[in-house]
Chains A and B, each alone.
Chain A
Amino acid sequence: MTGSNEFKLNQGPDDSISAVKFSPNSSQFLLVSSWDSTVRLYDVGGNTMRMKYQHLAPVLDCAFYDPTRAWSGGLDNQLKMHDLNTDQDTIVGTHEAPIRCVEYCPEVNVMVTGSWDMSVRLWDPRTPCNAGTFTQPEKVYTLSVAGDRLIVGTAGRRVLVWDLRNMGYVQQRRESSLKYQTRCIRAFPNKQGYVLSSIEGRVAVEYLDPSLEVQKKKYAFKCHRLKENGIEQVYPVNAISFHSIHNTFATGGSDGFVNIWDPFNKKRLCQFHRYPTSIASLSFSGDGSLLAIASSYMQEQGDITHPPDAIYIRQVTDAETKPKST
C-alpha cells in the first residue's frame, strides 16, 4: 500500500486523529492532535515521535505558533500552549465549550481559536493572554486565516469574514454556497479567497473581494463520491490543505481518497490511492514537498469497528501539485 514515496508514521495516536499540522518553517516536524487526549510531535525525517503532551479530554485541533511552541484545544475547553523545547505546559485560557479550531495568524501575530460556545477568541501569543472574544452566530466548525483576515465557518452554513486588525464588526456575512453543513474552510495562500467543503461531497471555491467581477469567478464542484451498487455514496469532505507555492489544494474525504485540485484551471491534478479509512486531516509542509495524510475513521457511520487510524507522509512532486500549462 505504501510505496517508496510514502510511509506510515510510527507511534501513531491511540485514538482517532483530529488534526495534523506541519511546522511553519521546516518539513521535519509534524504536530498531531488526537481523540486520545494527546498532542504529539513527530520527527518526520526520522519517523519517530519526539514528544507528546496531554489534555484532559480529546484534542480537536492544534497549531504551531512558532517552531518551538504548539497550541492546542479540545473537549476540555482549555487552550494550551506547549513549549516543545522545555516540554512545559501553559494553560492560556478557556472557552465555555469545546475548542474546535486553533490557528495562528502571522500577519497580525495572534492566535485564533473557534469554539462550540459560538465565539472566536484571539490570544496574544507573547504574553500569552486573551485578546478579545467575538461572538459568532453559531457554533464554530472551522476557521482559516487569509493574511489579516479571518474566515469563520459555523453551523447553520454561515460564513463570516473578519478583519483581524479591526474586529469591531464583521466585514462580510455570507451564507455558504453549498447546501449542506460546512466541514472545512481553508484560505488561499495568495489570500484572495478560500475553499469551503461540505459534508455532501462538494467543494466551493470562493473569493473575498465582494465586487461583482470577482464574485463571478466563484464556483463549486462535486467530489468524493463513489458509485456502489448503482447508488452514489456521497462522502463528507473533511480536510483541505493548500500547497503554499502553487496555490493548488488537496482535499480529503470520508471515502478515503485524497485529491489534488488546480483551482485556476478547474482540473483535478491527481488522486492518490484509497486510504484505509476516512481522511480526517491533511497538511502540506511549508515547502510543499510533503503531504501529511491522517486516515482516521470519523464515525460517519456510527461507532463501529474500522481500520486502524494512521498518518501517512507522502512526498509529492510538481507533477502532482503544479497547475498544468499556466
Chain B
Amino acid sequence: MGRKKKKQMKPWCWYCNRDFDDEKILIQHQKAKHFKCHICHKKLYTGPGLAIHCMQVHKETIDGVPNAIPGRTDIELEIYGMEGIPEKDMEERRRVLEQKTQENQKKKQNQDDSDEDDDDEEAGPSFQQATAQPPAAYAPMAQPGMAPVPTPGMPPGSYSGMPPMMPAVPPMMPGMPPVMPGMPPGMMPMGGMMPPGPGMPPMMPGMPPGMPPPMGHRPGMNHMPQAPASTTSGMIPRAATPAATVAAPQPVVTKPLFPSAGQMGTRAPSTSSASSSMDTLSAPSKPLSQAQQGVPGAAVGLSASSSAAPKATFPAYSQPAPSAANTGSTVAKPATPITSKPATLTTTSATSKLIHPDEDISLEELRAQLPRYQCKIPSTAQAHISTPPVGPMGGVMPAQQGASSQQPGTRHPMHGPYGTPSQAVPGYVPGAMSPYGQGPPMVPPYQGAPPRPPMAMRPPVMSQGGRY
C-alpha cells in the first residue's frame, strides 16, 4: 500500500494542468489565478462564485475563467481544488499520467491493480464525494461488512450503496472470517431491501480467501463518517444530499461544494429552506434557536430535528439569551392571535443571527400588539366619532365633524363636504387626482409614454440585477 500511495494522483489544477504537492496549495493557486476578480482583486472560491461576484458587484459578465488553458475556461463548472473535476477529464489525466509512467519505464507491472488502487485512494477523505468509484471493483467486498448491519436507511436494491453501512463493523478487516458464520441470520434483515440474488452468493465463498482484498479496499470506509449522519437525519432535506451521494454507485456525484455556498453569503437559499422549517418547529421555544447558533456548520440542521439535544451543546451561548428572548415571546404572544399568524423569518444560521423577531411583520406592528398599547387603541367607531379626550387645546370641532361626515365620501374628495374642486390650490390638479385615473393627466406621465398596463410597467431589468 505504501508503494501505491506514492502513485496516487497528485493534486492538479484542472484549469491549467499544473501539478501541486498539496491540495491546499492547489486551492490557493486557484483562488489567486483563476478565481480572482480582475476588477477588485477579490479572491473568490469557484468559477460560478466569481461570475456571480462580477455580476452583482461590478455588473459585468465573465465569460471564462481567467488564465485557463483553452477548453478549460468553463465558468459554470464548480471546481474547488480537486473537487468537481469532470470525470472524463479525471480519466484522461489518469491515462496521460500512466502513459508517462510507462514511458519512463517505471514499474510496468500490474497496470490493472494500480489503476484500481488509484480509484480507491481517491476515495480518500479529501474528495470522497467527487470521485467515481467503479462499483464492481469493491462493492462485493464491502458486502460482508454490510450484512450484519440492518440499517434501515439502506437504499433498497442498491448494493453498491453499501459502503455507508460499513461503519457499524469497524474491525471488519481482521474480523472478516469470524463474521461469516453470523452471516446468514444477519442477512435476513437485508433480504428485504436487497434481493440477495446475484451479489451475495458469489461473495460468500470468495470471502475467506478474499481477506486481502478487503484490506485493499479499506479506503472505502471513508464514507463512514458521513453515513451515520445521513441515515439518522433522513428527515432533513438538506442532509439528504450527502446521503444520496454516498448511495449513488455511479460517478454521478452531485457535489455540494461548500465554497460556493459560502461564497453566496451565509444565507444561501438551500440552507435557509432547511433552517426556516426548523425555525417554525422551534418557534415557541426560542432558546432552542438561540442555542442553535452555537452549533457549527451542518450540525445545525441535525440538532434541530433532535429537538432536545442542542441546548446542552453550547450552554454558554444559550444561557444568557433565552431569558431575554423568552420574555419577548411570551409577552408578545398573547396579542398575536388577533392577526393571522404571520410568516416566520429565518433569523438564525450557523454563522449569523438576525436581530429581529421571528414573525415577518414590522417591528411597529409587533409592538402595537402589546397590551399596553392595545388598550389605548380605540375601536374604529370611536376613532371617528369621539372627540380626542383632552388634547391640549381640545381639538377643533368643525374638522372633527368633517372627518366623520367625510368617511363615506372618501373616494370622491371632489364632491366632499369641502366644496368644489376649483377651490383647490393652484398647482394642485384635482382632475389628475381622480382616484380612477379617468381625468386626462395634465402633465404627460413619466417619459411621456401613454399609460401602459401595469404589468408592462415592470421593466424586465428589474429582475436582472437579482436579489442581494
Q: From B365, which residue of chain A is reached at the shortest CB distance?
A: A116
Q: How many Å from the CB of B254 to the closest CB on chain A?
A: 25
B413 adjacent to A302 (CB under 8 Å)? no
Q: From A213, which residue of chain B is reached at the shortest CB distance?
A: B461
Residues on the B chain within 8 Å of A318, using CB: none
- The interface-forming segment of B23-31, B219-227, B234-242, B438-446 is B438-446
- Bound-state CA distance A302–B416 (Å) is 44
Contact of A167 among B357, B437, B458 (CB under 8 A): B437
B445 adjacent to A130 (CB under 8 Å)? no
Contact of A174 among B317, B345, B451, B462 (CB under 8 A): B462
Interface status of B466 (Cβ within 8 A of chain A)? yes
Which of A81, A86, A301 has the most chain B CB atoms inside 10 A of its CB?
A: A301
A127 adjacent to B418 (CB under 8 Å)? yes
- We find that the number of chain A residues with CB closer than 8 angstroms to chain B is 104
- The interface-forming segment of B154-162, B183-191, B402-410 is B402-410
B467 adjacent to A302 (CB under 8 Å)? no
- We find that the number of chain B residues with CB closer than 8 angstroms to chain A is 96
Which of A60, A91, A199, A299 has the most chain B CB atoms inside 10 A of its CB?
A: A91
Interface status of B270 (Cβ within 8 A of chain A)? no
Residues on the A chain within 8 Å of B327, using CB: 302-304
A94-147: which have CB < 8 Å to B? 94, 96, 98, 100, 108-110, 116, 121-122, 124, 126-134, 139, 141
A170 adjacent to B457 (CB under 8 Å)? yes
- Bound-state CA distance A132–B293 (Å) is 48
Interface status of B176 (Cβ within 8 A of chain A)? no
A169 adjacent to B451 (CB under 8 Å)? yes
Q: How many Å from the CB of B443 to the closest CB on chain A?
A: 5
Contact of B396 among A37, A89, A210, A235 (CB under 8 A): A89
How would residues 58 to 91 of chain A score, 1 for a CB under 8 Å from any chain B CB and 0 otherwise?
Answer: 1010000000000000011110010000111111
Q: From A86, which residue of chain B is reached at the shortest CB distance?
A: B393
How would residues 149 to 190 of chain A score, 1 for a CB under 8 Å from any chain B CB and 0 otherwise?
Answer: 100000100000001011111111111111111010000000
Residues on the B chain within 8 Å of A133, using CB: 410-411, 435
A254 adjacent to B355 (CB under 8 Å)? yes
- The interface-forming segment of A2-10, A214-222, A241-249 is A214-222
How would residues 379 to 403 of chain B score, 1 for a CB under 8 Å from any chain A CB and 0 otherwise?
Answer: 0100110001111111110011011
- Bound-state CA distance A57–B391 (Å) is 12
B376 adjacent to A75 (CB under 8 Å)? yes
B355 adjacent to A90 (CB under 8 Å)? no
Interface status of B195 (Cβ within 8 A of chain A)? no
How would residues 351 to 382 of chain B score, 1 for a CB under 8 Å from any chain A CB and 0 otherwise?
Answer: 11111110011111111101001001110100
Interface status of B263 (Cβ within 8 A of chain A)? no
Interface status of A200 (Cβ within 8 A of chain B)? yes
Q: From A202, which residue of chain B is reached at the shortest CB distance?
A: B468
- Bound-state CA distance A167–B443 (Å) is 12
Which of A100, A128, A202, A232 has the most chain B CB atoms inside 10 A of its CB?
A: A232
Contact of B416 among A129, A177, A202, A234 (CB under 8 A): A129
If A57-B376, A165-B443, A167-B435 touch, whether A215 touches B383 (CB-CB below 8 Å) is: no
Interface status of B423 (Cβ within 8 A of chain A)? yes
B428 adjacent to A54 (CB under 8 Å)? no
A173 adjacent to B376 (CB under 8 Å)? no
- Bound-state CA distance A166–B451 (Å) is 10
If A179-B267, A232-B353 touch, whether A163 touches B461 (CB-CB below 8 Å) is: no
Q: From B296, which residue of chain A is reached at the shortest CB distance?
A: A230
- Bound-state CA distance A200–B377 (Å) is 30
How would residues 81 to 92 of chain B score, 1 for a CB under 8 Å from any chain A CB and 0 otherwise?
Answer: 000000000000
Question: 9 smallest A-B Cβ distances: which pairs?
Answer: A168-B437, A302-B328, A220-B468, A210-B459, A90-B399, A215-B461, A232-B352, A166-B441, A89-B395
